[in-house]
Amino acid sequence: MITVKEAISKKELKTFIKFPFQLYKDSKFWVPPLISQELETFNKKKNPIFHDAEAQFFLAYRNGQVVGRVAAITNNLEIKNQNIKKMRFGWFDFIDDLEVSKALLQKVEALGKDQKLDFVEGPVGFSNLDKVGVMTEGFDNIATMITWYNYPYYVDHYKFHGYNIEKEYSESKFKFSNVNPETFKKAQDLVKRRYNLKALSFTKTSEVMPYVDRMFDLFNTTYSSLSSFVEITDIQKDYFKRKFISFVNPEYIKFVVDDQDNLIAFAIVMPRFAKALQKAKGRLFPFGFRHILRAKKHNKDAIFYLIGVQPDYQNKGVHAVIFNEFYDTFTAKGIETCYRTPELEDNEAIRKIWKHFNPQVYARRKTFRKDLN
């Protein structure tokens, strides 16, 4: 018999966070999160997302043992401002037992019905800056810190319980040696002269901070047309500055501004912390911090996390300016492989940006939906 209980106390939330450590203990490809960061994400007093969202965290038990977990999420910005009456769910992990996954999904569906929502979709997080999608291909690749990993049987559970594919994503990578600078060197000079643009590079995090709020504003403008978009609010900006920017090497943040210092484009790249996080085993101390710091300084892999161009400047070659800046930085750093975060399959614009680099898709993921009416 399966019993589902809500995780409320700090101890229960730790149990929620640590369940995958047991589930994936024999996997070479799963990347553990930092337990302290996950606790902060779920802390309703610390994470400002809870000003506009609600979440409940559930654990499934059999004979006193945890056998599954799920987070049920409602984003009120999405529901009220966009009239998308969706119950989100994420952090969905379970043993290969249909009774377990059914019990957890039924809890999510019941909450959605209670709130008179139209459908449930997952796995997704609170916003666009969270992890997304269940992996459907690429199980023999090490995950990243910004994606969920799962066993192949997960997909069968979604389908068995009557869920249909809602969105499709792909993840790709390319060798830095594939990059021919001639594809953007001349173009970026022409673009900068024609539109009076200037590229900004940084060596200190403090130099980045004056631009970060404007970056999030541009993020909201750039990504608003995507089907999965939920805006980043002002109160969330401060939180994400503290949570993410300190993880990023300042030289991996590039901005493009016009002659009035207006932000035209931005790009954020992160070191690939996967192996360091595997060594850290979920903890910064006593040795995890050392592994992460070493990866930040000496990593040969880079992940393109976010790229945004002001709509009036899209399709005008501004991305060539960004690539030129990263080419010089990556050459100096000895970068070998570049990765891209999950991108919607219907995002044709982003695919055109990367076409010259011969990217190879190495993983695919999907979100699944079930109507509640």
Span 132-160, pLDDT tens digits: 999 999 999 998 888 999 999 999 999 99
Q: Which of 141, 99, 129 is nearest to 275 (CA)?
A: 141
Is residue 367, in this structure, part of any structural domain at all?
Answer: no
Query: Which has the higher per-residue pLDDT, 20 or 277?
Result: 20
Same domain, 353 and 241: yes
**pTM score of the predicted model:** 0.92
How far CA 142 is from CA of 88, 111, 296, in Å, comes to 26, 34, 18
Choosing from 138, 172, 206, the residue where a domain stops is 172
Is residue 373, in this structure, part of any structural domain at all?
Answer: no
Same domain, 218 and 338: yes
CA dist., res. 315 & res. 147, Å (int): 29
Instruction: Give the strand pairing for 301-309 and 337-340.
Output: parallel
Same domain, 132 and 227: no
DSSP at 143: -
Q: What CATH code is carried by the domain that includes residue 184?
A: 3.40.630.30
Same domain, 13 and 119: yes
Same domain, 285 and 309: yes
Is residue 290, in this structure, part of any structural domain at all?
Answer: yes
pLDDT at 228: 62
Total domains in the chain come to 2
Is residue 39, in this structure, part of any structural domain at all?
Answer: yes
Mean predicted confidence (pLDDT) in 343-362: 84
Query: Best-predicted range by mean pLDDT among 178-192, 231-245, 278-292?
Result: 178-192
Same domain, 142 and 208: no
Mean predicted confidence (pLDDT) in 244-264: 90
Is residue 369, in this structure, part of any structural domain at all?
Answer: no
The region of weakest confidence among 103-112, 306-315, 363-372 is 306-315
Give the pLDDT confidence of 120-136 residue by residue, as tens digits: 999 999 987 789 999 99
The region of weakest confidence among 37-46, 186-195, 340-349 is 340-349
Tell whether the model's pLDDT for residue 227 goes beyond 90. no
Give the pLDDT confidence of 11-67 residue by residue, as tens digits: 999 999 999 999 999 999 999 999 999 999 999 988 999 999 999 999 999 999 999
Which residues constitute the domain of residue 322? 175-360
Task: Give the position of tokens 């965290």.
Answer: 57
Share of the chain above pLDDT 90, in %: 68
Same domain, 129 and 277: no
Same domain, 190 and 67: no
Q: How many CB atoms sit inside 10 A of residue 82's CB? A: 13
How far CA 193 is from CA of 125, 217, 254, 287, 309, in Å, comes to 41, 25, 18, 49, 17
Same domain, 24 and 149: yes
Choosing from 126, 147, 172, the residue where a domain stops is 172
Tell whether the model's pLDDT for residue 289 goes beyond 80. no
The residue type of 351 is: R
Choosing from 172, 189, 209, the residue where a domain stops is 172
